[in-house]
Amino acid sequence: MTERGGLSKEEIRDLFQRYHAAEEDDERTRLREQLVDQYIGLVEFLARRFRNRGEPLEDLVQVGTIGLLKAIERFDLDREVEFSTYATPTVVGELKRHFRDKGWAVRVPRRLQELHLELTKIVSKLGQDLGRSPTVPEIAKEAAITEEQVLEGLEIAQAYNFTSLDAPIDSDDSDSTSFADQMGQEDEQLETLEYRASLAPEMAKLPERERRILYLRFYKGMTQSEIADRLGISQMHVSRLLNRTLVRLRHALEE
């Protein structure tokens, strides 16, 4: 992911040293551009986590790039930490601020947010305890609410973009690396899926995680709960991502 720019660690280190030492503005600009090129993949990766909120990805990448520039400016080589690890919170912070300033992150009524969080926890807990996906009455009992409230909570979650609530941002980029690695191994089978579905162009545009969920659900036949375990996210999150992806593909097919 962060290696997209293709420079080795030593070369990057050298680039930062020259950047911080540079006195000529032209020189600084040139070096800064090289650093941005090197890490634009990281910005795109992080920006993708904020799509589905009504903002074009390109705009989000621009916002994220501001964060990247700030991080480049502040990065101290003596910190002994990878730049991508250092830059991630800054880029994410910039993206979050963008949404907070627009007031878009708080559109979900508080009551529903809380219900959603509560249900997410209970579905996971019961799934563990029972060794299978729970039923609505079981969830209602555990949450001490009515079955109708559970159903409403499950349905309503689809209508909102809860991404901010339950998509942990990886500050450690080793996660994303291993994720990309896993994707590599399954690429061949994904191609079969794409061929079969004749959706190749749209599939290619999907974030890796969404593609992977599609693959695991419809090609490997794993249940949503199993996928949740495998990817380390909640079943309800898998449910939402899957629904959203299908809606998106359906629209793409009709156009």
Partner 1 sequence: MDTINVKVPASPQYIGVVRLIAAGLASRLGFTIDEIDDLKIAVDELASYLTGTQGRDGVLEISFGVEDTRIEISGRGRFAPGDKVRTELTDFSRMILETVADEASLQQQDGTPTFVLVKSTRS
Q: Which residues here bind partner 1, judged by CB under 8 A?
A: 123, 132-137, 139, 147-148, 150-152, 154-155, 158-159, 196-199, 217-218, 221, 223-225, 235, 239, 242-243, 246-247, 249-251, 253-254
132, 141, 233 from 215: Cα distances, Å: 21, 34, 16
* b/e sequence 193-224, b meaning 16+ C-beta within 10 Å: bbeeeebeebbeebbebbbbbbbbbeeeebeb
Nearest residue (CB) to partner 1, 36 versus 156: 156
Put residue 84 in one of left, alpha, beta given phi > 0 → left and psi -120 to 50 → alpha: alpha
Least distance between partner 1 and beta carbon 223 (Å): 5
Cβ closer to partner 1: 147 or 166?
A: 147
* Shorter beta-carbon distance to partner 1: residue 174 or 243: 243
What is the closest distance, in whole angstroms, from the C-beta atom of residue 41 to partner 1 in the complex?
29
In the complex, least distance from residue 182 CB atom to partner 1, rounded to whole angstroms:
21
Rounded CA-CA distance 2/7 in Å is 10
Query: How far apart are CB 152 and partner 1 at their closest, in Å?
Result: 8
Q: Would you say 136 or 169 has its CB closer to partner 1? A: 136
